C-alpha cells in the first residue's frame, strides 16, 4: 500500500492556521502530522441539539440554553467577578465570570439575548442556578431556537488551545478527506473481517461526529473497539520488531562442556527443583545460539531465581566471557555479591562488586580489573554501566528486579557489551510475577521462563490483618516470639514519597519498641543511612545479634534471614499488593511457622480493604499480580520507572485483556504477509517509534 500521500505523512503545519507556535502546542499533545489529529479522540460529547428552557435546568446537567440579560454587575465579594443574570420567562440563571474585560462587560447590555452552554451548578441563595464561565454568543430575538449544532466532541487540549480552534482543525482534516486525501488503512481485510471491525474512516467519522449521543463509556462501541485493537496491535508489533532486530544480531555462542556448572551444582547444599532445572535448560539452550538471548525469568518470592542466574553466569564464564549482574539497590547488590562469593569460592572465579560509593583508588582498581578481564563475575548497581566502565569481554548481562528499570534502559544496557558486531546475551529477572495479560503485550520482545515451584522447606506465611488499636497486643506477641527464638521485622511505611518522613517514622517506631521491650536488641535500617551502615545492621540481624529489625521498605527485596519468622507492616493499607507480597517474602525462609501482621488505620477504603483481604487469603504471587492489575491498572503496576512504556491513547490492558490473544495472532500474520503495514501502524500509535524499534 502506498503511504506517501497519506495524511499521516503531512506535517501538521499543512493545516491553515497552524504556524510554529500552534504546532508546538499540538506537539505537546503528540500531534505532529495531519493524520495524528484524527487519532486525538474526544473524551466526552456535548448535546447542543436542543435548547433547554432555563426553568428546566438541573444542577449537574451540561445544557444549551438561551436568555435575555436582566442585569450585569461586577461584585467584590471574596474574589472579583462579573455576574450576569439571564431570564427566558420560565426562570432565571446567573452567569459568573472571574476573567473578563471591560468590553465584555459593556456588551452584556440589558435586553440582549444570549445563547450559552455550560455546566449547571447548584442553586444559589437567591433561588437560581449558576454557570461559571459558560461558552456564549450573542443572538437576536429572531434567532432564538435556530440551532445549527448537534453533538459536539470535547477534546483533551493544552494551554493556549481552546475547543473551538481545535474543532476547526478537525473539520479542516475531514474536508481534506472529502477532497481526496486519505489516511492509511493499516488493518488487512482478514483482521477487519475476523474482528467485524469498521473501516478506519468510518470509525473516525463516528467518533468525531457521532449521529447520536454515545454512552458515557465509549469503549464498547464498534468504532472505538476497532481503534483499541489497532493500538494494541501497534504496541505488540513495536516490541516484536525489537525482538526481531535483536535476533538478527550476532552473539557469542557458549558451546561448553558444562563442567563448571556441574561442579557448582555438586557444591550446593540443596538440589534444584524441577522448575529450576527446566528453566536452566531453557536458558542454556539460548546461550548456545549465535543470536542474543532476550529472556525474562519470573518466579515468586523465594523460588530460587538467583541460583538459576548463577547457572547462566557459569555457562558464560566457562566459555571465557564476563558476566555483569545489575541490581536496583546497593543493599541487594551486596547481598548478591556475598552469595556469589560463597557459591563460587572453590571454582577459581573472580567475583567483584562495583557500587556508587566506590571512589578514587578503589574505583580505579575495580574498573581496571574489569577492563583487563581479570574479573569474571561483576555485580553492582547502575554504576556498572557508567561511561568510564568498560568490559574486556562481556558475554551476559543479568538484570535483577527488572521492573525497577524502564524498557529503554533494558535495551541501552546491551551497548556495553557490543564488540566486533556481536552483542551480549541478556537475562532479566523479576520476583513480581507478571500477569499473563501483561506478559502477552508488555514483554512481547522477551522470551518468558517461569519458576512455578517453591523449593522444599519454604514454609507458608500466615497473614493476619489488625487495626492499629491492637498495637500493644502485637508488641506482646513480639516479646513472646523472641522468647521462642524468633527474629522480627517491623516495617514502617508512609504514603508520602518523602524519604525523610519514612525515616522519621522508622526512628519513632524503633524508640517505641525500645521503650516497650528494653530487654531486646533492636536495629534500625532506612534509606538515608550510608550503604555500609545499612549493611552492618543487616549483618548483625543475620548473625542473630539483633532480635528486631525496624526498617522502611528498603528491605523489600534481596534480604535473606532464615530465622526471621515474624513481620509487622505498619500502615499496610497504603501499599500496593505487589509491594506487600515482596515484603512478606522476607519471612518464611526457614523451618519455623511464619507470620505476617498487616496493621492498618481505620477507616479503610473499599480498595484498601480488598487488597488486605487478598493478602490474607493467598500467598500465590501470580494470583496477587492478577488482582493487583485489576485494582490498579497496568500503568500504575509498572510504576513510574517504566515511564515511556504502555502509555495507551485509547486501549486499557485490563479492560481489553480479552483482545490480546487475537492481537498476538494478527501481529504474527502481519509480519509474515503484510510487512508493509507494520511500520506505518507502529509509527501511528507508538510514541518515538523510530527511536524505539531501531535497536
What pLDDT sits at residue 2?
41
Check pLDDT > 60 for residue 669: yes
**Can you tell me the distance from the alpha carbon of 691 to that of 312, in angstroms, rounded to the nearest whole number?**
31
What pLDDT sits at residue 368?
94
What pLDDT sits at residue 587?
86
What pLDDT sits at residue 112?
95
The per-residue pLDDT of the chain, averaged, comes to: 85
Query: How much is the CA Rg of the chain, to the nearest whole Å?
Result: 31
Compare 532 and 338 and report the one with higher pLDDT.
Answer: 338
CA of residue 570 relative to chain centroid, distance: 25
Q: Regarding the domain delimited by 461-618, which CATH topology (the fold level of the hierarchy) does it fall under?
A: Rossmann fold (3.40.50)
What pLDDT sits at residue 303?
83
**Can you tell me the distance from the alpha carbon of 438 to that of 694, in angstroms, rounded to the nearest whole number?**
23
DSSP per position, 297-323: EEE-TTS-HHHHHHHHHHHHHHTT-EE
Q: pLDDT digits over 376-426, tens only?
A: 999 998 888 787 888 999 999 999 875 556 555 556 566 776 777 788 999
**Can you tell me the distance from the alpha carbon of 242 to that of 442, in angstroms, rounded to the nearest whole number?**
12
Check pLDDT > 60 for residue 106: yes
Strand 564-569 and strand 487-491: pairing? parallel
Q: pLDDT digits over 575-617, tens only?
A: 888 888 888 888 887 778 889 999 998 888 888 899 999 999 9
Closest CA to 574 of 495, 515, 504: 495
Check pLDDT > 80 for residue 654: no
- pLDDT, mean of residues 17-34: 92
Check pLDDT > 50 for residue 224: yes
| Predicted confidence band of residue 435 (pLDDT cuts 50, 70, 90) | low
Closest CA to 437 of 243, 622, 582: 622
| Predicted confidence band of residue 694 (pLDDT cuts 50, 70, 90) | very low
Check pLDDT > 80 for residue 230: yes
Compare 285 and 435 and report the one with higher pLDDT.
Answer: 285
Of the candidate ranges 276-285, 310-319, 539-548, the one whose mean pLDDT is the lowest: 539-548
- pLDDT, mean of residues 683-695: 53
Contact 64, 51 (CB under 8 A): yes
- pLDDT, mean of residues 91-109: 91
- pLDDT, mean of residues 307-315: 96
- pLDDT, mean of residues 181-208: 93
Q: pLDDT digits over 271-294, tens only?
A: 999 999 999 999 999 999 999 998
Of the candidate ranges 167-176, 300-309, 316-325, 637-646, the one whose mean pLDDT is the lowest: 637-646
| Predicted confidence band of residue 216 (pLDDT cuts 50, 70, 90) | confident
**63 bridge partner residues:** 118
| Predicted confidence band of residue 248 (pLDDT cuts 50, 70, 90) | confident
Q: What is the enclosing helix (H) or strand (E) of 365?
A: helix 360-372
Contacts of 546 (CB under 8 A, 6+ apart): 487, 521, 522, 523, 537, 540
Q: pLDDT digits over 334-386, tens only?
A: 889 988 998 998 898 999 999 888 888 999 999 999 999 999 999 998 888 78
Q: Do domains 260-451 and 461-618 have the same CATH topology?
A: yes
> Which superfamily, per CATH, for 260-451?
P-loop containing nucleotide triphosphate hydrolases (3.40.50.300)
| Predicted confidence band of residue 448 (pLDDT cuts 50, 70, 90) | confident
Contact 435, 626 (CB under 8 A): yes
**Can you tell me the distance from the alpha carbon of 621 to that of 301, in angstroms, rounded to the nearest whole number?**
8
**93 bridge partner residues:** 86, 129
Check pLDDT > 80 for residue 486: yes
| DSSP one-letter code for 83 | E
What pLDDT sits at residue 401?
72
- pLDDT, mean of residues 522-528: 85
Q: Omega of the bond prior to 603 within 30 degrees of 0, cis?
A: yes
Our CA dihedral for 419, 423, 424, 427, rounded to 10 degrees, sits at: 160
| Predicted confidence band of residue 61 (pLDDT cuts 50, 70, 90) | confident
Check pLDDT > 70 for residue 4: no
What pLDDT sits at residue 46?
86
- DSSP-based helix, strand, coil % in the chain, nearest 5: 45, 20, 35
Check pLDDT > 70 for residue 543: yes
What pLDDT sits at residue 643?
35
Of the candidate ranges 64-73, 491-500, 517-526, the one whose mean pLDDT is the lowest: 491-500
What pLDDT sits at residue 695?
30
What pLDDT sits at residue 603?
87
**Can you tell me the distance from the alpha carbon of 41 to that of 204, in angstroms, rounded to the nearest whole number?**
9
Check pLDDT > 50 for residue 183: yes
Compare 537 and 643 and report the one with higher pLDDT.
Answer: 537
Check pLDDT > 60 for residue 202: yes
> Which superfamily, per CATH, for 50-148?
Nucleic acid-binding proteins (2.40.50.140)
Give the CB-side neighbour count of residue 247, counting CA atoms within 13 A.
Answer: 11
The per-residue b/e assignment along 64-103, b for 16 or more CB within 10 angstroms, e otherwise, is bbbbbbeebeeeeeeeebbbbbbbbeebbbbbbbeebeee
Domain boundaries, the chain: 7-45+154-214, 50-148, 260-451, 461-618
Beta strands in 21-125 (DSSP E): 44-47, 62-75, 81-87, 92-97, 113-119
Closest CA to 328 of 413, 228, 220, 254: 413
What pLDDT sits at residue 506?
82
What pLDDT sits at residue 9?
86
Amino acid at each position: 500500500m502506498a503511504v506517501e500521500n497519506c495524511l499521516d505523512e503531512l506535517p501538521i503545519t499543512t493545516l491553515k492556521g497552524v504556524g510554529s507556535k500552534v504546532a508546538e502546542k499540538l506537539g505537546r499533545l503528540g500531534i505532529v502530522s495531519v493524520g495524528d489529529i484524527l487519532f486525538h479522540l474526544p473524551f466526552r460529547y456535548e448535546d447542543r441539539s436542543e435548547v433547554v428552557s432555563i426553568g428546566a435546568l438541573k444542577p449537574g446537567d451540561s445544557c444549551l440554553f438561551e436568555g435575555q440579560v436582566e442585569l450585569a454587575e461586577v461584585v467584590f465579594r471574596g474574589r472579583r467577578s462579573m455576574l450576569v443574570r439571564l431570564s427566558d420567562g420560565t426562570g432565571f440563571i446567573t452567569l459568573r465570570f472571574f476573567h473578563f474585560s471591560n468590553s465584555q462587560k459593556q456588551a452584556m447590555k440589558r435586553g440582549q439575548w444570549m445563547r450559552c452552554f455550560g455546566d449547571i451548578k447548584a442553586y444559589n441563595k437567591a433561588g437560581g442556578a449558576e454557570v461559571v464561565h459558560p461558552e456564549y454568543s450573542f443572538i437576536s430575538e429572531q434567532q432564538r431556537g435556530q440551532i445549527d449544532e448537534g453533538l459536539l466532541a470535547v477534546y483533551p487540549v493544552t494551554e493556549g488551545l481552546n475547543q473551538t480552534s481545535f474543532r476547526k482543525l478537525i473539520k479542516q482534516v475531514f474536508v481534506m478527506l472529502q477532497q481526496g486525501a486519505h489516511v492509511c488503512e493499516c488493518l488487512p481485510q482478514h483482521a477487519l473481517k475476523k474482528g467485524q471491525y469498521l473501516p478506519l474512516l468510518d470509525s473516525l467519522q463516528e467518533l468525531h461526529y457521532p449521529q447520536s449521543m454515545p454512552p458515557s463509556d465509549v469503549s464498547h462501541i464498534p468504532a472505538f473497539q476497532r481503534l483499541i485493537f489497532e493500538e494494541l496491535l501497534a504496541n505488540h508489533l513495536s516490541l516484536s520488531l525489537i525482538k526481531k532486530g535483536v535476533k538478527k544480531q550476532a552473539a557469542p555462542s557458549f558451546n561448553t562442556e558444562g563442567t563448571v556448572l556441574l561442579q557448582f551444582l555438586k557444591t550446593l547444599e540443596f538440589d534444584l527443583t524441577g522448575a529450576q532445572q527446566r528453566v536452566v535448560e531453557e536458558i542454556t539452550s539460548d546461550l548456545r545460539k549465535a543470536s542474543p538471548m532476550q529472556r525474562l525469568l519470573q518466579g515468586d518470592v523465594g523460588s530460587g531465581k538467583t541460583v538459576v542466574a548463577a547457572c547462566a553466569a557459569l555457562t558464560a564464564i566457562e566459555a571465557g566471557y564476563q558476566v555483569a549482574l545489575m541490581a536496583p539497590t546497593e543493599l541487594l547488590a551486596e547481598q548478591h555479591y556475598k552469595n556469589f562469593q560463597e557459591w563460587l569460592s572453590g571454582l577459581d572465579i573472580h567475583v567483584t562488586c562495583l557500587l556508587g560509593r566506590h571512589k578514587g583508588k578503589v574505583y580505579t582498581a575495580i574498573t581496571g580489573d574489569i577492563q583487563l578481564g581479570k574479573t569474571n563475575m561483576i555485580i553492582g548497581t547502575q554504576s556498572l554501566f557508567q561511561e568510564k566502565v568498560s568490559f574486556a569481554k562481556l558475554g551476559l548481562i543479568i538484570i535483577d528486579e527488572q521492573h525497577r528499570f524502564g524498557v529503554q534502559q533494558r535495551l541501552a544496557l546491551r551497548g556495553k557489551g557490543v564488540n566486533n558486531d556481536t552483542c551480549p546475551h541478556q537475562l532479566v529477572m523479576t520476583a513480581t510475577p507478571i500477569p499473563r495479560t501483561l506478559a502477552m503485550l508488555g514483554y512481547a520482545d522477551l522470551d518468558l521462563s517461569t519458576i512455578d515451584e517453591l523449593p522444599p522447606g519454604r514454609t507458608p506465611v500466615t497473614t493476619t490483618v489488625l487495626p492499629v488499636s491492637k498495637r500493644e497486643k502485637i508488641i506482646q506477641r513480639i516479646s513472646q516470639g523472641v522468647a521462642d527464638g524468633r527474629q522480627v521485622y517491623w516495617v514502617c511505611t508512609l504514603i508520602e514519597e518523602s524519604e525523610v518522613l519514612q525515616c522519621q517514622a522508622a526512628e519513632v517506631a524503633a524508640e517505641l519498641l525500645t521503650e516497650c521491650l528494653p530487654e531486646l536488641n533492636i536495629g534500625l535500617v532506612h534509606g538515608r543511612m550510608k550503604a555500609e551502615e545499612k549493611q552492618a545492621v543487616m549483618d548483625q540481624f543475620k548473625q542473630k545479634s539483633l532480635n528486631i529489625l525496624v526498617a522502611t521498605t528498603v528491605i523489600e527485596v534481596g534480604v535473606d534471614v532464615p530465622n526471621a519468622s515474624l513481620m509487622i507492616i505498619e500502615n499496610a493499607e497504603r501499599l500496593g499488593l505487589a509491594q506487600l507480597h515482596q515484603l512478606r517474602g522476607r519471612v518464611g525462609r526457614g523451618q519455623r511457622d511464619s507470620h505476617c501482621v498487616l496493621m492498618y488505620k481505620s477507616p479503610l477504603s473499599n480498595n484498601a480493604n480488598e487488597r488486605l483481604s487478598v493478602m490474607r487469603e493467598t500467598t500465590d504471587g501470580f494470583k496477587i499480580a492478577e488482582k493487583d492489575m485489576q485494582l490498579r491498572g497496568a500503568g500504575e503496576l509498572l510504576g513510574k520507572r517504566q515511564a515511556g512504556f504502555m502509555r495507551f491513547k485509547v486501549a486499557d490492558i485490563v479492560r481489553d485483556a480479552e483482545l490480546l490473544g487475537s492481537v498476538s495472532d494478527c501481529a504474527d500474520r502481519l509480519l509474515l504477509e503484510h510487512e508493509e503495514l507494520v511500520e506505518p501502524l507502529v509509527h501511528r500509535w507508538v510514541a518515538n517509534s523510530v527511536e524505539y524499534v531501531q535497536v
